[in-house]
Structure 1
Amino acid sequence: MSKIARKDVLDEMTKDDLVAWIRNHHFYKPKRSDVLYIRWQRQSAEVLEEMQKENRALDGLDFKERDRLAANFNESKDTAEKLRLLDLIQPYDKAMSDHIKRSQALDRKSKRVDALYEQIDVERQKEPRT
């Protein structure tokens, strides 16, 4: 028996619908720390997913082969052979360079998400106790 996935009514609402609904229901008004926590939770999940994807980005490359090509390059005295080997090494080096750049960008994004988490505590200190 297969279950049909039902959409949550919140998924069907536009931003304006959600804001209007929240404002019309006075029984609960979210605190700034609540909003920051939801934002942090979503962004940290996105960063984690991106990091996991990036960690798999080099799975298809055999860096032992790259090392073998580099060793052959270092041993070779033939200029034409060295150029051929450089051409073979270049995709490995580019893939690694691109991976490092993407990882550094993810690190910066992760630091922004961490700062958002710290801001939650700052906002909680400002909020009245209930």
Structure 2
Amino acid sequence: MSKKAVKDILDGMTKDDLVAWIRNQHFYQPKLSDVLYIRWQRQSAEVLEEMQKENRALDGVDFKERDRLAVRFNETKNAAEKLRLLELMQPYNKAMQDHIKRSQALDRKSKRVDALYEQIDVARQKERSF
């Protein structure tokens, strides 16, 4: 049987089906560390994908143009021109602020995933002591 066929069978099972099937497997009952590892593996892949996506989020933003506007802002004495330049820089600043917020959220999520990995070690130690 191909790997794709097995995946399709599992994808077609409901949560209740999967739980009942696992409980009927008398020769193998998953350990907490197994479940935590699967959870960590899935969440790690998700975080990595989100980080890669976020790293590409600013690809289309020309920060050199923002820097040129900032130089002009610093050089001018005209208040109206300063205001106009600030308004032109605003989209760049907002893009960077949004990127920073999303990156911080990803860092927090990554720390939760790392903590999950530490739980795997704790669970393995407990399982060995039984």
Pairing 1:8–2:19 present: no
Pairing 1:52–2:52 present: yes
Q: Percent identity?
A: 83
The alignment's TM-score, normalised by the length of structure 1, stands at 0.92
Amino acid at match of 2:55: N
Structure 1 segments unaligned to the other structure (5+ residues): none
Per the TM alignment, residue 8 of structure 1 is displaced from its structure 2 partner at its CA by 1.8
Q: Deviations over 1:13-47 (max 9, x none)?
A: 11111001111121110000000000000000000
Structure 2 Cα separation of the partners of residues 121 and 128 of structure 1? 11
4+ runs of 1 displaced by more than 3 Å? none
- What is the Cα-based RMSD across aligned positions, in Å? 1.5
The alignment's TM-score, normalised by the length of structure 2, stands at 0.92
Structure 2 Cα separation of the partners of residues 120 and 24 of structure 1? 25
Structure 1 Cα separation of the partners of residues 127 and 110 of structure 2? 26
Q: Deviations over 1:55-84 (max 9, x none)?
A: 001000010100000000111111111111
Q: Name the structure 1 match of 2:66.
A: 66
Per the TM alignment, residue 129 of structure 1 is displaced from its structure 2 partner at its CA by 7.2
Structure 2 Cα separation of the partners of residues 77 and 25 of structure 1? 78
Q: Name the structure 2 match of 1:94.
A: 94
Q: How many residues were matched structurally? A: 126
Structure 2 Cα separation of the partners of residues 115 and 106 of structure 1? 14
The alignment partner of 2:42 has SS state of: helix
Per the TM alignment, residue 128 of structure 1 is displaced from its structure 2 partner at its CA by 3.6
Q: Name the structure 1 match of 2:108.
A: 108
- Identify, as 1 or 2, the structure richer in helix: 2
